[in-house]
Structure 1
């Protein structure tokens, strides 16, 4: 039904509860005198539609960026976390990471067991950050990463600071300062877990360069690897890895090797000054090594001490004390003797134990450091006093015992060098008249006497394919009838050729080879003049065979080779006395003849005061090489002089400067030794038989024909020109 005429009813229910009684109004409070009367707010202005539109768009974009950033950050964090977890799972134990060398080291000991040279990468043994000298630990942290114990592997603050410095200096953001933490540096030393494989890399240097590259992708991998290390290892374990793998100059890898190399002590007892010097090497180990420039290394150490002071690791008083009293090198660290000798031993040893070793090898040698130092001093003295300034002439000296054990070696004018061309063992030069003792050794072995006569006279031979050959003496003069001893004493060429031809060049070559002259000997009459070539080591070894009574000698410097920590050697002496070449009597008579060379002949400048000596001078064609090789009862020594480019020497013969150097060397090395006679034997004079009359062409009736021996004697007399 309709309800017309009526007012519409209410759409809400009537109140069902009685209205409560009105509350009494509280008396108005008096306003506080300190309160100000509230100001009326002005009604908000109605914003323009366009402003509202763009404001809304901006707010929407900002919310989108914020949400995207948060989302991306979460995703990135998950990716990084996953990568860190994955890398962490592949990290080995700390004990497997302390020695990071790709190859081992070779340590050489002299004949007394004292270290005199090192080759390869030295590793003194593993150290621990908790047991190493606290000064060294503090010095490394103060220098390389002062926030090491507080960051999580990377330092955003350090990276930002490095980028700012690089840009301000005009470099790229990642070029120059890297802002790397100690953990990141350790990650680089580990090459982010990549191990050197010779089959994948051209050489070790290429592998190291790849490990040190600073590209953005490499930096990201490095950061992940660093955080993985921080999650698995303790701070001290990371520092231990760093202290064991870091290169610290002088061939030393790790703190223990550096402490022994520079201070001859363990890393556990380093002083603050020594610790600061080692820590200071880390930025540029080759340039700052104290063995290269001690003053530069001390200056760097003073800076490290200041940094330690600023970080509360040293008091002001301690800092001043150690800056005023910097670390100095141990005596062993400054030794630089025997460089050429060490190179020779390394080259002559087995390659897999000396040049390409992956183990730490100890080699005991025959080197006598006293003799080596005396030899170097004598050479330096003669060159300083008697060689014209600016001369490029080079020198080589070898000193050995009669059994071939080399006691000293100089391979050039830079007497203490290493890694250079060794003229004692590598220069193959013509021997000149120094070859003549092998001719006379052959003759004496065949029964000739030092007193036999040979005629020094104009002499010519017809050589098949070459024509007529007429050799000359050095003085271009002839002495007439001379004994074999006089011929050697005066280094006469014609008698030497006659003797060589009479006994047979094949026998001379055999004797020379058996004594140790292994190069191709020229089978021509000129061989007697020393046209064949040899090294100084070979020549000195051959003369040692004469001194020891006629037995061959193989020069050697290695007495035993063993791995570090092993008691039994892997190999022993590789040389020494070999088979007999000539009889002791022939050797003794040859020594008697060679003693005359020094006392009366061309080698007079080599004479020693009150000590018997024997030897022979030698000058090659056009004076390109000058030799003096000789011996006393104690030592054999050889000296060579010449130019590397075969330029002829000016005014130098074997009896000149080489003899003087030999005399100076032998005087020094015999100091304090008792005088001993040479093992020589003077020949017994014999009454010469009258010269035989020429035999008739046909034997007389009843007369026996000549024997083969008698006919051979006639031929020899014709060649020698005497009885």
Structure 2
């Protein structure tokens, strides 16, 4: 029996040996063939350094400083060109035996397998840097046993074809490190404003810490979390002999901090607008690395953000979900700052209300009515009737505009009608001037949205964006010549600075003659000096502007200008909920004032291009001469209004 058992054991051993040997030979053959397959598939080294699917866009402000990035940022580098601290941080974090194994770290794999088994799931990766490069080149991000097996011949192929430093260089250039940065050179520029060759131990540790979870540990998302992660990496570098105790102590005492541009995260709405306004093949879908020279002014942006925050912190009920948008531009239409909305901690911050939201303009539109009247030959001192008015609108019946105060002043002049935003008088001016002429002036000044056909046109029932309306008012400040908003000055190829296209600036076209434009500026100044825009007054310089409030106070506007800047403010709710107790002359005017106090601080006083009207040569008609009853037909309205305003038959 004993002999039988010994014989059975010997035969079993020989069988296992025979099967095992042949299985090993077969596995070796499969591994060799698979490795050879991947060797044949691997592109040349130079092709592997750039791992992006598209190009990058770097946005520069009016001073030539970087303030935003879009697309996939990349700066090519090599393991020999970056800071040694960065190489040490990556190796210490990801693969401490990188320079000693043949592509597969068996000890590390076994350790990770044990930890994962004990945890009952995948909590630690055992992949070497070479395996991670193989994954970047050949596989997706899913974790499966099949993929892990395939990584082995792919990693061996990389080790066969490239040196260790070449493999590491590929990794340094292809790893995604958050905030749109592909590669360590791009990440160093993005977060610290310097080359990867210049990073300190603390900065190198923070960059290496991004490899585990780029979005979670991105310093632009949570700097404290990124610094804590970096402190762990510094400890690994010290323990593995890459840093002395003193160097580690300095790195821990002086953790990496974001560059000024990265910390500011300024101009997000502006950058998105510029990206959408340029041609796709040179911006959003570019395959090149390009630089966009813009009109953005970080000083003005900071002033706008601070002014808006001041009003919401001190004059708006805590927890309010009301939204606001701000645009600041120069008189030629160059946009200097843009706030697309308040960040309330949700997806609403991604919607740019300054550019994308089309809202009724309310009394803000009245400026175009009076601009058209002045251009047609009227004077600011011409009389107009403020009295009940009923017009017949074909297809709708009688329409009777109401004043905000529900009271009437009788005979007033055009300036008073604008200063106090009188609805009935404005409609009379619009009807006498001609709606077609009013629409033409609004369009020529830059309002591109469809405009109403009926008499309610004069009261701002049409929709427009804040950017359009601010640009239209810039045309008034610009002497009556168009000032189409633009943000791009030039687009260049980043590699050599060659010019790809000029900016968006459009040559001005005259819409109002200088006399009419100057008188309109004077009238708008009276709105601020003694009318509905009083809260926008500045202590040291003249201001002109106009308030706007839509039906049920769903939208509140103020757009005004000094001699230097035109600033537009909109306030409302995204779901059209009415504002409580707010009109354009209230919070929007106060936001405007707080913004412009900061924008104009330290700037010289520049006069407005205004032109005061001449005294009326004929006194205003007495009560007996006032037309008290306007007919219900358009013909009788035109006759009465022309007679009342211009003294003509």
TM-score class, shorter: over 0.9
- Could you tell me which residue of structure 2 aligns to residue 522 of structure 1? 452
Q: CA deviation at 1:720?
A: 4.7
The alignment status of 1:141 with 2:141, answered yes or no, reads no
Distance 1:367 1:551 in 2: 22
Residues 248 and 289 in structure 1, CA contact (< 8 A), matched pair in contact too: yes
Unmatched 5+ stretches in structure 2: 623-635
TM-score scaled by length of structure 2: 0.94
- Could you tell me which residue of structure 1 aligns to residue 498 of structure 2? 568
Q: Give 3-state SS (helix, strand or coil) of 2:483's partner.
A: strand
The alignment status of 1:236 with 2:165, answered yes or no, reads yes
Distance 2:165 2:13 in 1: 45
| Structure 1 stretch displaced more, 304-313 or 446-455 | 304-313
Q: CA deviation at 1:60?
A: 1.4
| Alpha carbons of structure 1 residues 557 and 57: separation in structure 2 relative to 1, 3 Å | same
Distance 2:548 2:500 in 1: 40
Q: Encode CA deviations 1:264-308: one digit per residue, 9 max, x unaligned.
A: 222222222221221122111211122222222222222222222
Q: CA deviation at 1:713?
A: 9.3
Match of 1:186 among 90, 113, 133: 133
Match of 2:103 among 142, 153, 156: 153
Q: Encode CA deviations 1:640-685: one digit per residue, 9 max, x unaligned.
A: 1111100111110111111111111112111122212211111122
| Alpha carbons of structure 1 residues 690 and 713: separation in structure 2 relative to 1, 3 Å | farther
Match of 1:497 among 419, 427, 433: 427
| Structure 1 stretch displaced more, 109-118 or 414-423 | 414-423
Distance 1:363 1:322 in 2: 35
Q: CA deviation at 1:101?
A: 0.8
- Could you tell me which residue of structure 2 aligns to residue 390 of structure 1? 319
- CA RMSD after TM alignment: 2.1
Q: Give 3-state SS (helix, strand or coil) of 1:377's partner.
A: helix
Q: Give 3-state SS (helix, strand or coil) of 1:424's partner.
A: coil
- Could you tell me which residue of structure 2 aligns to residue 663 of structure 1? 593
Residues 399 and 638 in structure 1, CA contact (< 8 A), matched pair in contact too: yes
Alignment map for 1:46-445 (pairs within 5 Å)? 50-124=1-75, 126-171=76-121, 175-192=122-139, 211-414=140-343, 420-445=350-375
Residues 502 and 719 in structure 1, CA contact (< 8 A), matched pair in contact too: no
Distance 2:482 2:521 in 1: 15
| Alpha carbons of structure 1 residues 281 and 567: separation in structure 2 relative to 1, 3 Å | closer
The alignment status of 1:618 with 2:548, answered yes or no, reads yes
Q: CA deviation at 1:151?
A: 1.2
Higher relative contact order (CA 8 A, sep 6+): 2
Q: Encode CA deviations 1:686-711: one digit per residue, 9 max, x unaligned.
A: 4228989xxxxxxxxxxxxxxxxxx9
Alignment map for 1:451-530 (pairs within 5 Å)? 451-530=381-460
| Alpha carbons of structure 1 residues 541 and 246: separation in structure 2 relative to 1, 3 Å | same
Distance 1:79 1:392 in 2: 63
Q: CA deviation at 1:364?
A: 0.7
Distance 1:713 1:391 in 2: 46
Residues 538 and 555 in structure 1, CA contact (< 8 A), matched pair in contact too: yes
Residues 439 and 500 in structure 1, CA contact (< 8 A), matched pair in contact too: yes
Q: Encode CA deviations 1:195-246: one digit per residue, 9 max, x unaligned.
A: xxxxxxxxxxxxxxxx112222212221100001111111111111111111
Residues 602 and 617 in structure 1, CA contact (< 8 A), matched pair in contact too: yes
Match of 2:511 among 569, 573, 581: 581
Residues 117 and 342 in structure 1, CA contact (< 8 A), matched pair in contact too: yes
Distance 2:531 2:619 in 1: 29
Alignment map for 1:3-82 (pairs within 5 Å)? 50-82=1-33
Residues 297 and 337 in structure 2, CA contact (< 8 A), matched pair in contact too: yes
Q: CA deviation at 1:617?
A: 0.7
Distance 2:377 2:523 in 1: 15
Alignment map for 1:703-718 (pairs within 5 Å)? 715-718=640-643
| Structure 1 stretch displaced more, 668-677 or 314-323 | 314-323
Q: CA deviation at 1:719?
A: 5.8
Q: Give 3-state SS (helix, strand or coil) of 1:363's partner.
A: strand
| Alpha carbons of structure 1 residues 455 and 631: separation in structure 2 relative to 1, 3 Å | same
Residues 481 and 722 in structure 1, CA contact (< 8 A), matched pair in contact too: no
- Could you tell me which residue of structure 2 aligns to residue 35 of structure 1? none
Residues 382 and 645 in structure 2, CA contact (< 8 A), matched pair in contact too: no
Distance 1:273 1:53 in 2: 69
Q: Encode CA deviations 1:405-443: one digit per residue, 9 max, x unaligned.
A: 111111112399997101111110011111011111111
Q: Give 3-state SS (helix, strand or coil) of 1:580's partner.
A: coil
Residues 98 and 240 in structure 1, CA contact (< 8 A), matched pair in contact too: yes
Distance 2:408 2:375 in 1: 27
TM-score scaled by length of structure 1: 0.84
- Could you tell me which residue of structure 2 aligns to residue 531 of structure 1? 461
Unmatched 5+ stretches in structure 1: 1-49, 193-210, 693-710
- Could you tell me which residue of structure 2 aligns to residue 8 of structure 1? none
Q: CA deviation at 1:539?
A: 0.4
The alignment status of 1:672 with 2:623, answered yes or no, reads no
Q: CA deviation at 1:398?
A: 0.7
Q: Encode CA deviations 1:616-639: one digit per residue, 9 max, x unaligned.
A: 111111111111111111111111
Distance 1:223 1:242 in 2: 17
Residues 431 and 637 in structure 2, CA contact (< 8 A), matched pair in contact too: no
| Structure 1 stretch displaced more, 542-551 or 249-258 | 249-258
| Structure 1 stretch displaced more, 318-327 or 213-222 | 318-327
| Alpha carbons of structure 1 residues 713 and 458: separation in structure 2 relative to 1, 3 Å | closer
Greater C-alpha radius of gyration? 1
Distance 1:442 1:548 in 2: 16
- Could you tell me which residue of structure 1 aligns to residue 483 of structure 2? 553
Distance 1:540 1:241 in 2: 49
Q: Encode CA deviations 1:445-473: one digit per residue, 9 max, x unaligned.
A: 11111111111111111222222222111
Residues 383 and 620 in structure 2, CA contact (< 8 A), matched pair in contact too: no
Residues 104 and 128 in structure 2, CA contact (< 8 A), matched pair in contact too: yes
- Could you tell me which residue of structure 2 aligns to residue 41 of structure 1? none
| Alpha carbons of structure 1 residues 679 and 650: separation in structure 2 relative to 1, 3 Å | same
- Could you tell me which residue of structure 2 aligns to residue 653 of structure 1? 583
Q: Paired residues, what number?
A: 634
| Alpha carbons of structure 1 residues 102 and 722: separation in structure 2 relative to 1, 3 Å | same
